[in-house]
Amino acid sequence: MNARTITSRFALTSGLLLGMMTQLPTTAQETDRWTPDRTAWGDPNLQGVYTFSTLTPLERPEALGNKATYTAEELAEAELQSIIPATAAETPTAEGSNDDNLRGNEYNAFWASNEKGRLAERTSLIVDPPNGRLPPLTERGQQIYDERVAELATRQVGEEPNIYTLYDTWEDHPVYTRCVARSMPRVQQGYNHGLQVLQTPGYVVIYYESQHDTRVIPLDGRPHIDSSIRQWNGDARGHWEGDTLVVDWQNFTDKQFFMSIPPAIGLRNISLPQGNIRLVERLTKVDENTIDYEVTVHDPTTWTQPWTLIVPWRADDPSYQSPVDLYEFGCHEGNYRMMENSLRGSRVLRETYTEAE
């Protein structure tokens, strides 16, 4: 039996199993759920243009303990509070904005708030562990984290609050800044939160505005690629469980850092290698305009337990109403000056601080 035969038999068996699974009776909770319409070939229809922007933090503030959701009143208040810091100092007026308020804070919440997604009803994106916070790192995870922090310190000059991180070589920039690849899963970014879901018989396609990444996810039960093959965007396999699309996602590479993305809206800059991570995504349409995007992160070499987050994908944001709202990403063309500027600027800073010593 050659590999191809094995693959097709596996696919056939898995397909049958999956077919049976979709016939299983749904739980009471599921029957209460909003039911999505169907594609012409009978799959739940998740298609559309969405944004995953939200100001809800990844981790729940400790003061909120196990309070998992806001009441409607609390949500309105929290929404207001989340806007104030961005608008008080930085809303442009006829007289212009205040230099003093902006100085040193040029890239601040305003830019994010321009694409500000509403808060979710949940108080944090993390829903498990129940305290809404990342589980403790393993010994190895902590060691890598400490090494990263120590490495960073060797490239910093100045004193609080004016500490500058220097880029002595292009390799000091993260791979995303270098336009190589952006860490998956996409959870919180500064901007360009748009994405489009497309479906065909046997495939779900997710196109992300940022970095113009397209994930083509087969649904036919074929096995993952060999574990020796490592890819920037991993290797994903999907199937339906009732109306939920479940995707198993692995084969990532250590060259990428997991969720090493801007922390300005509450994310920690975790910067841990992604190679050992396995993700399980669950996409469920919960109302006409919302997909609950749930991701469980498995990596026993990094965290002491798996953890799960849910981000709402919303179809009702006026900025993202159709595919033409997803503008082309020309990363290199837009970035080459950044590279030159940051290398030159770092040299100026290093010289300045060396002379000062």
Binding mask 9-48 for other proteins (x = CB under 8 A): ----------------------------------------
Give yes or no for residue 97 binding other proteins (CB under 8 A): yes
Residues that bind other proteins (rule: CB under 8 A) add up to a total of 79
Position among 15, 129, 190, 218 found at the interface with other proteins (CB under 8 A): 190
Segment 246-265, which members bind other proteins (CB under 8 A)?
A: 260-264
Give yes or no for residue 292 binding other proteins (CB under 8 A): no
Report residue 261 as tokens: 């993305």
Dihedral over Cα of 59, 64, 67, 73: its sign: negative
Give yes or no for residue 185 binding other proteins (CB under 8 A): no
Position among 16, 21, 163, 216 found at the interface with other proteins (CB under 8 A): 163
Segment 199-238, which members bind other proteins (CB under 8 A)?
A: 209-210
Q: Is 83 exposed, middle or buried (0-12, 13-18, 19+ CB in 10 A)?
A: middle
Q: Hey, what's the torsion of the CAs at 345, 346, 348, 354, to 10 degrees? A: 160
Give yes or no for residue 105 binding other proteins (CB under 8 A): yes
Binding mask 325-344 for other proteins (x = CB under 8 A): x-xxxxx-xxx-xx--xx-x
Residue 300: is the preceding peptide bond cis (ω within 30°)? Answer: no
Q: Is 357 exposed, middle or buried (0-12, 13-18, 19+ CB in 10 A)?
A: exposed
Segment 107-136, which members bind other proteins (CB under 8 A)?
A: 107-112, 114-115, 123
The nearest distance, CB 53 to other proteins, in angstroms, is: 11
8 Å CB contact between 281 and 311: no
C-alpha–C-alpha distance, residues 169 and 246, integer Å: 41
Segment 269-288, which members bind other proteins (CB under 8 A)?
A: 269
Give yes or no for residue 74 binding other proteins (CB under 8 A): yes
DSSP structural state of residue 135: P
